[in-house]
Amino acid sequence: MAAASGDLTRSSDLRITELTAGNWPLFERLLGPGGLQGGCWCAWFRMTSGEFRTTGPDGHKAHVRDEVRAGKPLGLLGILDEEPVAWVAVSPRVDNPRLATSRVAALPDDDPTDVWSVTCFYVHRRARGRGLAAAMLRAATRHAFDRGARIVEGYPVDARKKRPAGDLYHGTIEMFAAAGFDLTARRDTVRALMRIPAR
């Protein structure tokens, strides 16, 4: 199916498009009034720990909204039947300051310029079980390469290890591997740094 104007891809009936100031209301609708995960609003990686702790949910939302209005890339929305059902956060690594202090995401010995990070997934409960997270990951990878990324990386969890459902927002090692990502480093027993280079 051909992509609609302004959309990145369609997977079956799923329409995937970049989050912009124009479609911000869809992001608000998907995350709901609480902004998920105690009011995160997908600001966790985009703020330092001190900033995140002191601003609270309203500040998290305002931070993300201001970045979207400034034209910064934050991620992609998945839409079914005109309703937002999925989200993947993908943006330049340098725009995610919390990664600089993450043991799992610590950089190999190379320049982080032109590295993009896939940090978060969310699929609404009404659309789960359809493989939408995998479709969002593929779209996020293409999007990053189209925007000049040299490498795309993620920090997924090992789904073979028993983890709370809330931890799966990183995605799974198996899903990243199926999308062509290679294991770069395994710094703990649960999560990994995985990367795919531009080809």
> DSSP string of 126-184?
GGTTSSHHHHHHHHHHHHHHHTT-SEEEE--B-TTS---GGGGGG-BHHHHHHTTPEEE
pLDDT of residue 4 exceeding 80, the answer is: no
What stretch of H or E contains 51? Answer: helix 49-69
Helices 49-69 and 24-31 cross at an angle (nearest 10°) of 140
Mean pLDDT for 12-38 is: 92
Please give the mean pLDDT across all residues of the chain: 88
Mean pLDDT for 173-192 is: 91
CA–CA gap between residue 29 and residue 1 (Å, rounded) = 26
Residue 106 pLDDT? 82
Q: Assess contact for 91 and 29: CB atoms under 8 A.
A: no
Helix (H, G, I), strand (E, B) or coil at 194: strand
Predicted confidence (pLDDT) per residue in 60-109, tens digit = 999 999 999 999 999 999 999 889 999 999 999 999 999 988 888 887 66
Burial of 6 (0-12, 13-18, 19+ CB in 10 A): exposed
* More confident site: 25 or 199: 25
pLDDT of residue 24 exceeding 60, the answer is: yes
Domains annotated for the chain, with CATH where assigned, are 7-197 (3.40.630.30)
pLDDT of residue 1 exceeding 60, the answer is: no
* More confident site: 164 or 19: 19
What's the pTM value of the predicted model, to 2 decimals? 0.89
Predicted confidence (pLDDT) per residue in 142-161, tens digit = 999 999 999 999 999 988 87
In order of 52, 104, 106, 154, the CA distances from 188 in angstroms are 25, 7, 12, 15
